[in-house]
Structure formats: structure tokens, C-alpha cells
Amino acid sequence: MNINFFINLVYDSNHLNTMSNHHDFRLRPRFYKDIDENVDVVRQKFINYTKNVPSGFLMKIRDYHIQFSIQGEKKKYWSPHLTLELEKFIGKEETATHIRGLFGPSQTMWTFFIFLHFIIAGVFLVFMMFAFSDMMLKKSIVNDCIIMILMVISWILLYVIGRQTRANGYDQMEELEQEFNKIIE
């Protein structure tokens, strides 16, 4: 991979030669890249690219915020999106561009994923309070503890599912990265 990642990405043992941190907990990998060109020049490169976007890609630009994603036949529920923020900073030239990149799932998928986390956490906390109340009343807390254990198992299952969907989208993430590198060159 050509991008200097702030946090290395790990998907499976086939990709360990380009990624070094195997114990990464991030499901939405980030990177930063500095370019010695004015931010408006870099933004114009992205605008020019939108005029000739290859089939299978979609790009939306609002000010200095860019959404780049897979569309059409190649799009699956695990297909990644690349979100870019273009920022001005002082570099070797008079002004340079600092690009913040974030790979992640579609916004709808990510919102649903986080919603499930909140539901599981809420159920866990409610049954923890029930267990504490039952313990103070000298009642059995077995059922409450079973539900809390099931919530922890559910959370772990959500994490495993998130890692698997990220691994499924790895090839498409590399395609997005290659197109990104073509644009900024």
C-alpha cells in the first residue's frame, strides 16, 4: 500500500506483509497524507475526476469534504467508503494540503451497527441494575447474570462480524486507494 497509514490495518494473514499491527481494534481505519500543493488545486483534481469517474465508483464533493465509494454491480453490504477531508497547512510550498482519510462501511450500515451496540449496552446495564436490586432483596440473580453474559457474548459476536465485513471489503478498499492515488498524482 502506498499510503502512509497512521494506524496499520490488519485483515488476515494473507495481507500481513503490508500491515504490521495484528492487534488493531479499529473497525474504521484512518490515514493521513500531506501533499505539497494548494488545497484548492487538490480539490480541483477531485472535481476533474468526477467528470470521468470509472464505472463502479461514485464520488461526492462538498466544499473540502469528499465521499468516495463503490457502486453498481460491485457494491455489496460490506463495500467500503472512503471519506476524505482536505485541510490547508504550511508545508514546503507556500501552502500545502493535509488529507485525512477514513475507510468505513456505508453510513447506514455503520449507524445500524452502532445502534445494536447501544441496545446491547442498554440491556446489559438494565439487567445489571436488576441483579443488584435482586441481590439487595436476597433474591436469585441467576437469570439476570445469564442475560448479562449473553449481552457480552452478543457484543463479542458483533465485533467478530465487524472484523469479517472489513476483511470482505479489503480488495475494494485497495481499489479505492488506487483510484485515490491516481487522482492526487
25-70 pLDDT tens trace: 455 778 888 888 888 889 999 999 888 888 888 899 998 999 988 8
- Shared domain for 17 and 101, answered yes or no, is yes
What is the residue-wise DSSP string for 50-76?
Answer: HHTPPTTEEEEEETTEEEEEE-GGG--
Helix (H, G, I), strand (E, B) or coil at 139: coil
Instruction: Decide if pLDDT at 24 tops 80.
Output: no
Number of structural domains (the chain) is 2
Print the domain residue range for 147: 111-161
pLDDT at 184: 86
Q: How would residue 92 be classed by pLDDT, with cut points 50, 70 and 90?
A: low
- Max distance between CA atoms of the chain, in angstroms, equals 72
Whether residue 98 is contained in a domain is answered as: yes
**Which uninterrupted H or E stretch holds 150?**
helix 142-168
Please name the helix (run of DSSP H) or strand (run of DSSP E) that holds residue 100, with its range, or none: strand 96-104
Mean pLDDT of 125-153: 96
Grid cell at residue 151? 449481552
Residues 96 and 180 in one domain: yes
Name the pTM for this structure: 0.68
